[in-house]
Amino acid sequence: MRSRKKGKTVLLSLLALVLAAGAAEGVYVPRYLTDRPTFDITSAADPDAITVMSANVRCFSPLDLFKKSWFYRAKLIVENVRASAPDLIGFQEVTPMHYAYLTETLRGYASVIEYRDRSPLREGCPVFYNTAKFTLAEQGSFWLSETPEVMSKSWGAAFNRVCSYVLLTEKASGKPLAVFNTHLDHISDAARIGGINVILDKLESFGNVPCILMGDLNATEDSETYRAATARFLDAKYAAPDTDSGATFQKWGKRLDDENIDYFMISKTGIVPLSYKVVRTTYDGVYPADHFPIEMTCRLA
């Protein structure tokens, strides 16, 4: 009898937690649906440089309560984009709900996305690009597995992982640029290593076209994943003459001294990095996500 009562108490506690979480999320939903600030890159872009942003927006979780809620933070993501005015953006942990909001509020961009699976809260790594500055030559996505052409996972990954890319032509110069965006597995080291190698193999098909690989690699600089990436690429943080460093996954401000796990990897030739920084902006003490975005400016050689 005691065990049954204990089970009932646990069930009621879980139900109360779910109801509380739902109520907390719902506080901000009306504003989220009606107050949607927009940003248009068309007239805001820097004509002398290409600005790139990588931002993990934080997956949708009903346990992100109050000002951690996506419904509160969504417009802060847009404000970060407005402040940087990036020509290229790689977002990670983007669900269909995130993507609908971002494509509605970010103007002057086209984008490509593929979701890693078909679950209700499926995630993708879209690439947004400034259509006033670039024309699209090719786009695509692939999975980070032993069978990258089909929806799949390998090497003990917790989830399917995907990489989306665009092959662009810079209108002003006529020069090509390939841009890849990904999010490597957070559990399996073997999956991170295998995943980065799948990406590197794909990059080989672009020959000498300059490439930018960005995203959340879930790997620190002492990892085999990082060493594999920097065997082919330069880490923009160290290649740019005007640079910054520091934690990117700050876990809502709790891990400000941790190492970086978000990167811009750039080709060793064809791209001239100008600046790199971690975007540490908060809004009245609120973090737009549990990662800081990173920003790079560069030009094509």
pTM metric for this prediction: 0.92
Q: In the block, which residue shows the tokens 């390998």?
A: 154
* pLDDT for the residue 265: 98
Compute CA 250 distance to the chain's CA centroid, rounded to the nearest angstrom.
15
* pLDDT for the residue 63: 85
How many CB atoms within 10 Å of residue 59? Answer: 16
133 φ, ψ (degrees, to nearest 5)? -105, -25
Q: How far apart are CA 288 and CA 292, in angstroms?
A: 8
Q: Is the pLDDT of residue 286 over 80?
A: yes
Q: Is the pLDDT of residue 83 over 90?
A: yes
In this prediction, residue 285 has a pLDDT band, given cuts at 50, 70 and 90, of: very high
92-109: per-residue pLDDT in tens?
999 999 999 999 999 999
Q: What is the mean pLDDT of residues 119-123?
A: 94
How many CB atoms within 10 Å of residue 281? Answer: 14
Q: How far apart are CA 87 and CA 281, in angstroms?
A: 19
Q: In the block, which residue shows the tokens 């646990």?
A: 10
Q: How far apart are CA 81 and CA 55, in angstroms?
A: 9
- Mean pLDDT for the chain? 93
In this prediction, residue 14 has a pLDDT band, given cuts at 50, 70 and 90, of: low
Q: Does the structural domain 36-300 have CATH classification 3.40.50.720?
A: no
Cβ neighbors of 296 (< 8 A, separation 6 or more) are 51, 52, 53, 236, 240, 264, 266, 273, 274, 275, 276
